[in-house]
C-alpha cells in the first residue's frame, strides 16, 4: 500500500495518502453530517457540514498518531520506516525490517492501540468538562472519543496482521522462541478471524444492514489477504536470508555471433 500524495514528513517519516483515502473521507463526512442533522437539526446546514469536515480531519489525525506511535517505536529500535500511508481502511506503517525479538514486536504492536485508547479517553474527558452537552465542540470530541476507543478495541482483535495479531505472534514467539512457528500460528488465527468477519458481514447484508454488512465482509476479505501475504513474505525473507546472488544466478549464458541477422 504505497501513497500517491505526499503530505510531508514527521520525525523524518514520510506521510502520504493513497487515492482510496478520499472515498472513506467522503463517507465519514456524509455519515457525520447525517448524524448531526438527526441529533441537532437546529445547528443549521453550514455549521453541521463544517463540524463534520473538522471531525473527519481530526479523526484522520488520530489515525496518523496511531501509526506514528508504531513508527517511532520501530525507529527507536533501529528499524527503518519508509513511510506512513493513509488509505480507505485506515493507515499502515511501511516498516522495512522485521523486529528481531518478541519484546520488540510486542511493544511495536501494543503502542498503537494504547495511543488510540489514550486519545479516546482524553476526548471523552474533554466532552465531560466542556459544560454544554449539546454544543458542536462537545459533539465532536465525544464522537472522537468513542471512535478512538473503538479503533483501539478493533486493533486488539487477534487477527494477524492487526496489532492484536502481532501481539499474539509476539507472545507465541516469546513462549516458543520460534519466529516462523509464531508467525504461522498467528496467521492462521488471523485467517480464521477474517473468515468470521466475512461470514458475519454477509449475514448482516441479508438481514438488511446493506452497505454496512458488505463493508464488514470487505474488511474480512482484506484481513484474509493480508494475513496470507504477511506470512508468505516472512517465509520468503527467511528462505533467502544469507543467500548470495551467485548461488541463484545462471552462469551458463549462451551467445550468438554479432554478425547474425536478426
Percentages of the chain per state (helix, strand, coil), in multiples of 5 = 70, 10, 20
- 78, 82, 72: which is closest to 99 by C-alpha? 78
Single out the residue of 256, 239, 255 nearest to residue 247, CA to CA: 239
The residue from 67, 105, 180, 247 that is catalytic is: 67
Residue 97: which residues within 8 A CB-CB, separation 6 or more? 79, 80
Q: Cα separation of 85 and 15, whole Å? A: 6
Between CA 74 and CA 68 the distance in angstroms is 10
Listing from the earlier edge strand, what are the strands of the sheet with 81-87? 5-10, 13-17, 81-87, 90-95
Q: Contact, 65 vs 86, CB < 8 A?
A: no
Residue 67 designated active-site: yes
Question: How far is residue 40 from each of residues 23, 132, 133, 231, measured CA to CA in Å?
Answer: 26, 13, 11, 48
- Tell me which residues are annotated as active site: 67
Amino acid at each position: 500500500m504505497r501513497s500517491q500524495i505526499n503530505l510531508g514528513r514527521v520525525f523524518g517519516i514520510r506521510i502520504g495518502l493513497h487515492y482510496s483515502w478520499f472515498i472513506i473521507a467522503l463517507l465519514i463526512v456524509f455519515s457525520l453530517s447525517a448524524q448531526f442533522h438527526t441529533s441537532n437539526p437546529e445547528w443549521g446546514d453550514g455549521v453541521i457540514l463544517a463540524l463534520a469536515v473538522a471531525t473527519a480531519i481530526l479523526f484522520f489525525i488520530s489515525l496518523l498518531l496511531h501509526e506514528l506511535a508504531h513508527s517511532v517505536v520501530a525507529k527507536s529500535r533501529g528499524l527503518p520506516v519508509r513511510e506512513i500511508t493513509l488509505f480507505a481502511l485506515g493507515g499502515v506503517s511501511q516498516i522495512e525490517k522485521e523486529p528481531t525479538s518478541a519484546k520488540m514486536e510486542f511493544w511495536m504492536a501494543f503502542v498503537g492501540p494504547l495511543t488510540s485508547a489514550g486519545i479516546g479517553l482524553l476526548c471523552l474527558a474533554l466532552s465531560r468538562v466542556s459544560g454544554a452537552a449539546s454544543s458542536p465542540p462537545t459533539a465532536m470530541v465525544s464522537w472522537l472519543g468513542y471512535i478512538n476507543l473503538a479503533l483501539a478495541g478493533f486493533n486488539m482483535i487477534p487477527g494477524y496482521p492487526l496489532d492484536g495479531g502481532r501481539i499474539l505472534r509476539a507472545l507465541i514467539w516469546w513462549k516458543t522462541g520460534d519466529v516462523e512457528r509464531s508467525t504461522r500460528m498467528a496467521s492462521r488465527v488471523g485467517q480464521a478471524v477474517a473468515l468470521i468477519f466475512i461470514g458475519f458481514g454477509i449475514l448482516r447484508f441479508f438481514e438488511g444492514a446493506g452497505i454496512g454488512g458488505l463493508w464488514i465482509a470487505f474488511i474480512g476479505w482484506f484481513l484474509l489477504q493480508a494475513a496470507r501475504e504477511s506470512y508468505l513474505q516472512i517465509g520468503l525473507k527467511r528462505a533467502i536470508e544469507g543467500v548470495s546472488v551467485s548461488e541463484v544466478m545462471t552462469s551458463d549464458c549462451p551467445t550468438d555471433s554479432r554478425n547474425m541477422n536478426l
